[in-house]
Amino acid sequence: MTRLIPVALLAIAAVIFPLSVHQIFIETGIERELGTVQKIFYFHVPLAWIMMLFGVICGIAAGIQLRRESRTAEAFAVAAGELVIVAGLGVLITGPIWGHASWGKPWTWDARQITTGLLWLVFVAYVLVRRYGAAGSERLAAALAIFGAVDVPIIYYAVKIWKTTHPSNNVVGTLPPEMWAALWPALGALLATSIALVFIRARQELVEMELDDAWVQAESLTEQRDTAKGEAT
């Protein structure tokens, strides 16, 4: 049953995605000041939201992993953590392109930019520890993910204060309704895709753990057979 969830989500995304592209490029007018570059906004903002969402999900899953020693939670934490990196990469690439067009420079040390950047770093650290840490470091990585999730609001708020002393231009102004109308389908398509990816990746991780189980079982079965054979002869 769970096998069908990603398939269904990907199917939904496959339907919505062309529609949203149509909505973004054909139905919605070209923004007066920025021109066509503004279209990147419809991909940038959903990706940023997805990144934050899965950062928090990864933290929660890691918390469950530590408390309950749950394999499923561990698999989901890993999958969500990796998705944060992928989505974050998208955000960090599209952001400066858009920024360059709207403010004339790609990086302005805006609160959102710093939050995104730091969060991305934390989750890269998470994957690094999981991959290169010694035995037992999966618990350390889980703690890292929890701190990553907790850090999100803290960093954001800190930079906001930092900025109030030196006000800078606003990133997302008030949006006309037609832009929102184009944003939702794009968000839906990207969200469905990323949930599907997380499911697939988590399943992969679970299968890997089960494969380890099977390996151990096979090993002990072979051993038993050999001993039986040895006794028979």
Please report whether residue 232 would count as binding other proteins according to CB under 8 A.
Answer: no
Give the footprint of other proteins on residues 192-211 (CB under 8 A).
209
Structure tokens at 210: 């089960």
CB half-sphere exposure, 168, CA atoms < 13 A: 16
Please report whether residue 150 would count as binding other proteins according to CB under 8 A.
Answer: yes
Of 62 and 195, the one with the shorter C-beta distance to other proteins is 62
Binding mask 76-115 for other proteins (x = CB under 8 A): ----------------------------------------
Least distance in angstroms from the C-beta of 186 to other proteins: 29
With CB under 8 A as the contact rule, the residue among 27, 69, 106, 109 that binds other proteins is: 69
Reference 92, options 57, 121, 117; nearest CA is 117
160-167: long-range pairs with CB below 8 Å, 24+: 160/111, 162/111, 163/110, 163/111
Which CA distances in Å does 90 have to 26, 41, 65, 84, 200?
Answer: 23, 12, 28, 10, 20
Least distance in angstroms from the C-beta of 136 to other proteins: 4
Please report whether residue 221 would count as binding other proteins according to CB under 8 A.
Answer: no
With CB under 8 A as the contact rule, the residue among 10, 21, 64, 70 that binds other proteins is: 70
Please report whether residue 36 would count as binding other proteins according to CB under 8 A.
Answer: no
Least distance in angstroms from the C-beta of 100 to other proteins: 24
The H-or-E segment that residue 212 falls in is: helix 177-232
End-to-end Cα spacing for the chain: 48
The size of the interface with other proteins (CB under 8 A), counted in residues, is 49
Whole-number Å distance between alpha carbons of 185 and 180? 9
If phi > 0 it is left, if psi is from -120 to 50 it is alpha, else beta; for residue 136 that is left
Of 96 and 133, the one with the shorter C-beta distance to other proteins is 133
Structure tokens at 177: 């309704």
The residue ranges that bind other proteins (CB under 8 A) are 66-71, 74, 118, 121-122, 124-125, 128-129, 132-140, 142-144, 146-148, 150-151, 154-155, 158-159, 161-162, 165, 209, 212-213, 215-216, 219-220, 222-223, 226, 230
